Amino acid sequence: MVAALINGKEISLSIREELKLGVTELKNQGVIPGLAVVLVGNNSASRTYVNSKHKACNELGMYSEVIELAEAVSEDELLSVVRKLNNDDKIHGILVQLPLPAHISEKKVIETISPLKDVDGFHPINIGRMMTNQDSLLPCTPFGILKLIEATNIPISGKHVVVIGRSNIVGKPVGQLFLNENATVTYTHSRTTDLKRITKQADILIVAIGVAKLITSDYIKEGAIVIDVGMNRDENGKLCGDVDFENVKSVAGHITPVPGGVGPMTITMLLHNTLKAASQIENKSNLGVKL
C-alpha cells in the first residue's frame, strides 16, 4: 500500500476559484475586499510570506496594502498604525506579520486588532467563539488542515484525532476545530510519555512539532491520515516536514507532502477570512459561495 497524496496546491487552487466568485459578487455590490499586512523589520522569511500574501490578493482581485515599519519602531507607534487600520473603511482584514521584535508585545498587538478584521484568527474573542463552536474568523493553518481532510471525503465525526504540538497558532486550535466536528481529540507534546502508543491509535495524526523527520512509520496506525505541518531543512538543506515522508507513506492511508501540503492552504484561508470579513462588515450575506 502507498498512501494517497493530499495535494495542498490543487485543493487550495480549487478553493481560490470559489473565492474569486465571492470577490466578484462583492465587487458587483460596490465593495472591494481589502487586506492590510504590517511588516516590522527586515526578516527575510517574513518578507517572503508578505509578498506571497500580496500577490495572492491581487490574483483574486482584492485590494492589498503592505505597511513596512522599521525594526526599531516603538510599540505605541505600531499600535497606532493598527488602530488607524481598524478605522479604515477600505480595509476589511488586518494581519501583523509575526514574529515581532522583542521589545513589542505580540499579545498587545493581537488584542488591538478589531476582532471583525482579525483575519489571522488570533484575537481572544475569535478564539473564544471558536472554542464555543460559534461562527468566527478561524486561525488559517488549522482551518486549512480541516479543509485538506474534508477534501479526502473521509468523515471526521467519530474519528480519533491525535495532535502532536500545543502551540497557540496550530496545535491548540486545530484540536478544537476537530472537536467541533465531533472527533475525539488527544493532544500530545514534548512532555508526553509513551508517545508512540498514543499516536498509533490515531485515525488522523496532525504533526506540528518543528523537528525534521521525527515521525516514522512506527508512530503510525495503518491506513491513518497523516497531516505534516512542519517546515524544516534536512541534512542536505532540502525542505522537509516533521514526518519522514518516504518512511511513512507505505503505512499511512493519506499523507500531505512538504512542500505542497499544508503550506498553500494557509494563505488561501487568509484570503477566505478576508472575503468573509468584508462580507460581514459590509452586511452582505448573499455571496453565492459557501463561507
Per-residue pLDDT, 287: 42
Contact 163, 173 (CB under 8 A): no
Mean pLDDT of the chain: 95
Instruction: Please pick, among 9, 20, 27, 53, the residue that the annotation labels catalytic.
Output: 53
Task: Determine if residue 60 is left, alpha or beta; phi over 0 gives left, psi from -120 to 50 gives alpha, anything else beta.
Answer: alpha
Whether 176 sits among the annotated catalytic residues: the reply is no
Per-residue pLDDT, 285: 52
Per-residue pLDDT, 110: 97
- State what percent of residues in the chain have pLDDT above 70: 97
What structural domains and CATH numbers belong to the chain? 29-114 (3.40.50.10860), 140-262 (3.40.50.720)
Contact 93, 121 (CB under 8 A): no
Per-residue pLDDT, 291: 40
Q: In angstroms, rounded to a whole number, what is the distance separating the alpha carbons of residues 240 and 260? A: 11
Per-residue pLDDT, 203: 98
Q: In angstroms, rounded to a whole number, what is the distance separating the alpha carbons of residues 271 and 140? A: 9
Q: Return binding residues.
A: 165-167
Set of cell numbers at residue 235: 541534512
Whether 97 sits among the annotated catalytic residues: the reply is yes
Contact 6, 143 (CB under 8 A): no
Whether 280 sits among the annotated catalytic residues: the reply is no
Instruction: Please pick, among 118, 120, 203, 228, the residue that the annotation labels catalytic.
Output: 120
